[in-house]
Amino acid sequence: MAPKALKGPTFDPEKHLNYQPPSKIWTMKEIGFAEKGVSPNAVSEPFPLFTEEAIQQMRAEVLSKPVWDNCKYSSELAHCQLRGFAPEYAPFVYDAWRSPAVLSIVSKIAGVELVPAMDLEIAHINISGNTQEQIEAVKQALEEKSHREADEGVSGCPYEDDQPIVDWHTDSYPFVCVTMLSDCANMIGGETALRTGTGQIMKVRGPAMGNAIVLQGRYIEHQALRALGTTERISMVTSFRPKSAFIKDDTVLTTVRPISDLRELYSQYAEYRFEMLEERVRAHLKEIREGKRARRFDTKATKAFIKEQRSFLDSMLHELVDDEMVTAGILDSESHLFSDELIVKYRKKPRL
């Protein structure tokens, strides 16, 4: 049995939060997705969230040897991810993201009350590392490419778009909060690139250490761009869903299925989805009983409710792919994209 994390400090919002509101929250309408999503808010500018002490404790937990030994994954989207480590190896991280104070902050920025998608998604770590030689080589290649395109009068995709830390995708869950765990003092790049409804690329600058962004990533194609000028870019991604059982849940498992312990993923997914269904059924049953006392029954409303829940269950059947049909690291479809251009590029990529 792998050793558990050493006992460290307990998360204390009074001590470990350094929150300041973001300077701007972009709306779904502003980026061309007015009719999509579970909230009108799309993405925030980076904002201070955690103190340096909190970040150092998070790093100590998520970069510990037990996590590297037991929780490391790679996929078509990202070469190095750590996930499935909380609460066993990362109790401080787990408590931070379940803190009412943190949930209130994230929910306010998102524009809808949120809860962590499931324990398995507290959280995952995206890691990119460079040696000094690699940093200099990338800088030189970037300069040469810029000069060449200037001479030719063209403007191609930036170098970092060709080698992202996490490739183009939509998230499996409605919202994410991306927190920077690295020192970004000398970082060039490292932004999150978003594809807008018009097909334009919008970049949200990379957050500084302890800062975060909130993104409605289920409905927006995005990628994490490579960072220059630093030996590492380590970010923590925590996934969220609406707290209310009566808000639609468009969660899919496309991007997380190939990089998860299916026993944990499927168990936690089924549990929260059935809890949602249970709450919905109880609420509708209450309406039926109240109608019974008044000697009325709304046939159309009940049939609409049944159809909605049947669709809810059908989506679960689709997401619970048989274990033997899941290949580690390989996405089973291109459903994590919806733009024709990105789908064509994905089809041309060499597979793992």
Say whether 168 sits in a helix, a strand or coil. strand
Q: Is 231 in the same domain as 283?
A: no
Q: Is 239 in the same domain as 157?
A: yes
The more confident residue out of 4 and 333 is 333
Q: What was the pLDDT predicted at 266?
A: 98
Residue 4 reports pLDDT greater than 60: no
Say whether 238 sits in a helix, a strand or coil. strand
Residue 262, domain member (yes or no): no
* pLDDT, average across residues 234-238: 93
Least confident of 138-152, 214-228, 272-286: 138-152
Q: Is 129 in the same domain as 169?
A: yes
Q: What was the pLDDT predicted at 340?
A: 66
Helix, strand, coil % (nearest 5) of the chain? 40, 20, 40
* Model pLDDT for residues 139-151, shown as the tens digit of each residue: 565 456 456 545 5
- 273, 249 contact by CB (below 8 A): yes
Residue 183 reports pLDDT greater than 60: yes
Among 125, 126, 102, CA closest to 114: 102
Q: Is 131 in the same domain as 178?
A: yes
Q: CATH number for the domain including 165?
A: 2.60.120
Number of domains within the chain: 2
Q: What was the pLDDT predicted at 147?
A: 60
Residue 6, domain member (yes or no): no
Residue 261, domain member (yes or no): no
Residue 131 reports pLDDT greater than 60: no
DSSP, residue by residue, 41-95:
EEEEPPEE-B-HHHHHHHHHHHTSHHHHHHSEE--SSBS-EEES-TTTT-HHHHH
Q: Is 145 in the same domain as 284?
A: no
- Cα dihedral 243/167/80/90 (nearest 10): -20
Confidence of residue 250 (pLDDT cuts 50, 70, 90): very high
Tell me what percent of the residues of the chain surpass a pLDDT of 70. 82
Residue 292, domain member (yes or no): yes
- 58, 67 contact by CB (below 8 A): no
For the ranges 63-67, 105-109, 140-144, 295-299, the one whose mean pLDDT is highest: 105-109
Q: Is 162 in the same domain as 51?
A: yes
Q: Is 100 in the same domain as 138?
A: yes
Please tell me the pTM assigned to this model.
Answer: 0.86
- 209, 326 contact by CB (below 8 A): no
Q: Is 208 exposed, middle or buried (0-12, 13-18, 19+ CB in 10 A)?
A: middle
- 232, 130 contact by CB (below 8 A): yes
Phi-psi region of 84 (alpha: psi -120 to 50; beta: other; left: phi over 0): left
Q: What was the pLDDT predicted at 29?
A: 96
Q: Is 131 in the same domain as 90?
A: yes
Q: Given 194, 209, 243, which residue is the final one in a domain?
A: 243
> In whole angstroms, what is the distance from residue 123 CA to residue 339 CA?
27
Q: Which two tokens stand for residue 155?
A: 């403007």
Q: Is 57 in the same domain as 172?
A: yes
Residue 159 reports pLDDT greater than 60: no
The runs of H, that is alpha helices, within 63-200 are: 65-70, 91-98, 100-110, 132-152, 159-162
Residue 290's domain spans which residues?
267-348
Residue 194, domain member (yes or no): yes
Q: Is 162 exposed, middle or buried (0-12, 13-18, 19+ CB in 10 A)?
A: exposed
Residue 17 reports pLDDT greater than 70: yes
| The amino acid at 243 | K
Residue 88, domain member (yes or no): yes
Q: Is 175 in the same domain as 91?
A: yes
Residue 59 reports pLDDT greater than 80: yes
Say whether 277 sits in a helix, a strand or coil. helix
Say whether 256 sits in a helix, a strand or coil. coil
Confidence of residue 23 (pLDDT cuts 50, 70, 90): very high
Strand ranges for the chain from DSSP E: 25-27, 41-44, 47-48, 72-73, 81-83, 114-116, 124-129, 166-169, 175-180, 188-189, 192-195, 201-204, 211-215, 222-224, 227-228, 232-242
Among 203, 195, 178, CA closest to 126: 178
Provide the mean pLDDT of the chain.
Answer: 86
Distances 89 to 15, 82, 270 between C-alpha atoms, Å: 22, 12, 24
* pLDDT, average across residues 161-181: 83
Q: What was the pLDDT predicted at 1?
A: 46
Q: Is 231 in the same domain as 317?
A: no
Residues contacting residue 332 through CB under 8 Å, at least 6 positions apart: 254, 257, 258, 321, 325, 326
- 87, 119 contact by CB (below 8 A): yes
* Model pLDDT for residues 305-335, shown as the tens digit of each residue: 999 999 999 999 999 999 999 988 877 766 7
> In whole angstroms, what is the distance from residue 10 CA to residue 29 CA?
40
* Model pLDDT for residues 196-213, shown as the tens digit of each residue: 988 899 888 777 899 999
Q: Which two tokens stand for residue 226?
A: 């490579």
Q: Is the dihedral of CA 19, 24, 29, 31 positive or negative?
A: negative
Residue 158 reports pLDDT greater than 50: no
Q: Given 243, 278, 305, which residue is the final one in a domain?
A: 243
Q: What was the pLDDT predicted at 191?
A: 79
Q: Given 243, 276, 304, which residue is the final one in a domain?
A: 243
> In whole angstroms, what is the distance from residue 84 CA to residue 95 CA?
15
Confidence of residue 114 (pLDDT cuts 50, 70, 90): very high
Q: What was the pLDDT predicted at 339?
A: 72
Confidence of residue 132 (pLDDT cuts 50, 70, 90): low
Q: Is 133 in the same domain as 100?
A: yes
